Every structure is written in C-alpha cells, then in structure tokens.
Amino acid sequence: MFRNNYDNDSVTFSPQGRIFQVEYASEAVKQGSVVVGIVSKTHSVLAAIKRNAEELSSYQKKIITIDSHYGIALAGLASDARVLSNFMKQQSLASRLTYDRAIPLSEITSRIADRAQTNTQQYGRRPYGVGLLIAGVDAKGPHLFEFQPSGVTQEMIACGIGARSQMARTYLERHLDDFAACGREDLIKHALRALKESLSQDKELTVDNTSVGVAGIGENFVHYEGQDIAQWLDATFENREEDDSSSDDAMETDS
C-alpha cells in the first residue's frame, strides 16, 4: 500500500511543497460543528451550533467572549481554542492596561497567527487543530477575521467554518451584497439562516443547540444563549413554509 512518508511531522515539505500535517490539522476544523460570522457597517455577528456528547450531557461551548469589544467562535479542538482564547484574553487585557486601548482586532488576530505559524515550523510541536472566527468592534468599526490552523488569517465580510460549512458559505455568498446595510436584527437572522443551511435535514435550530454573539458600534460584545435567542429563532424561521418574498417583508418590518 502507498505510504505517505511526508506527513509524519510539520517540518517536512512534500515534493510538491505541501506540509501535510498542517493540511490534516485543517481537517480537524471540519470535524467541528459549524460556526458562522457576518459583518455589516455597524455590527458584527457570530452564530454557532453546539453539540452535546449525549442526551443528558451539557453542550460544548462554541462562542467565547474575550474582551468587552469582541469574542470568538470556534470549530475543531475546543481545548486548543481554550489555549488560544486564554492567550487572547491576556493580550487584550495587557493592551487595556498599558495603553488604555481596546486591542485592535487585526492586531490580536495577527498575534495568534504568529503563534500558530511557530507550531508549523518546529519539530516536536503540532499545529493547532482549531479554526476561529474573531468578531467584534474596534476603533475602526466592526470586523470579522478568520483564523486557520496553518496560521493563515483573513479579514472577511462573512465566513463559515466547520462541518458542512460549504452550505453556509454558499448562502453567505448569495446574500453577500445585502450584509453591509443590514441592521442588528437582520444580520442575526442572516447568520441563523446560514447556520440552518449547514444543518442536516432532520435537525433544527433550537434554544439549546444555538449560540449567538453580537457586537456593534457603541455596543459591547454580548453572548446570547438559551431563551435569549428564542425570539430570533421564532422571527427567523416562523414562515419557513411560505415563499421567500413574504418572509423578506416580515424581516423588513420588525427590525
């Protein structure tokens, strides 16, 4: 049987110039449940599906508030995300302490990117097995960044990562031009709809398995769960059976 000799560690290039260990780490992200993020001119939104190990267990946390102005959503190894989020919290506090400034999102993103890159160039380490969406508001307005295990980070208008996230991305691409002008409520609805696209047919978004994070200009990052998101789920999906135009109207009026 063919044996790939170039995939044992992250310090070996394949003859094509690829690093398989890093590519495998990206697969771990695809094992995680889906998370979605969108930005408008005024707001930045995260939405995530939470999984529970069994019926009676609690749900895995998917959205973490880092500082009052931003938070992250994760897909992949949650324990790796915790390491990164602790680092982000520490860096964010350091910025507030030394400069009395909320750390710019581009800055914190590149700091974790640099950390992740180190893990792909030194023996005895492994790449992080988690993808992150970093969303919030800084002095330059709302932002959304995507972080990958390879250390690649990109600023996005909208993004979805995790299991079956291609469906969410397709939805996001289709509505890409609408996002900029969206208000808070509309943006959340778009995020929930994108999330729903990635769900298998027999599943529904519920107050138990859905998590939402929102930040806006002059508005701190808030993480919503449980009954706090019931109204959004109701408002977003009540007219599912009806045609699209009527649901669009409903969306316009209650925002």
The footprint of another protein (CB under 8 A) covers 5-6, 10-19, 97-101, 104, 106-107, 110, 113-114, 116-118, 120-124, 139-140, 144, 150-152, 154-159, 169, 172-173, 176
Take residue 45 and report the two structure tokens written for it: 């939104």
Cβ proximity to another protein, 131 vs 247, nearer residue = 131
Q: Computed over its alpha carbons, how large is the radius of gyration of the chain?
A: 19
Strands 70-76 and 130-138: antiparallel
Cα–Cα distance, 67 to 89 (Å, whole number): 7
Cβ proximity to another protein, 120 vs 247, nearer residue = 120
In angstroms, what is the minimal distance from the CB of 174 to another protein?
10
Cβ proximity to another protein, 136 vs 224, nearer residue = 136
In angstroms, what is the minimal distance from the CB of 151 to another protein?
3
Long-range CB contacts (within 8 A, 24+) of 11-17: 11/121, 11/122, 11/123
Cα–Cα distance, 111 to 113 (Å, whole number): 5
In angstroms, what is the minimal distance from the CB of 226 to another protein?
29
In angstroms, what is the minimal distance from the CB of 177 to another protein?
10
Q: How far is CA 10 from CA 67, 92, 110, 180, 239, in A?
A: 32, 29, 21, 39, 49
Cβ proximity to another protein, 176 vs 230, nearer residue = 176
Cβ proximity to another protein, 149 vs 224, nearer residue = 149
Q: How far is CA 154 from CA 19, 110, 132, in A?
A: 20, 9, 11
In angstroms, what is the minimal distance from the CB of 124 to another protein?
7
H or E stretch at 171: helix 165-174
Q: How far is CA 27 from CA 35, 134, 195, 228, in A?
A: 15, 20, 20, 33
Cα–Cα distance, 47 to 190 (Å, whole number): 10
Cβ proximity to another protein, 103 vs 192, nearer residue = 103
Cβ proximity to another protein, 141 vs 222, nearer residue = 141
Take residue 60 and report the two structure tokens written for it: 């895995």
In angstroms, what is the minimal distance from the CB of 232 to another protein?
22
Cα–Cα distance, 27 to 22 (Å, whole number): 9
In angstroms, what is the minimal distance from the CB of 228 to another protein?
27
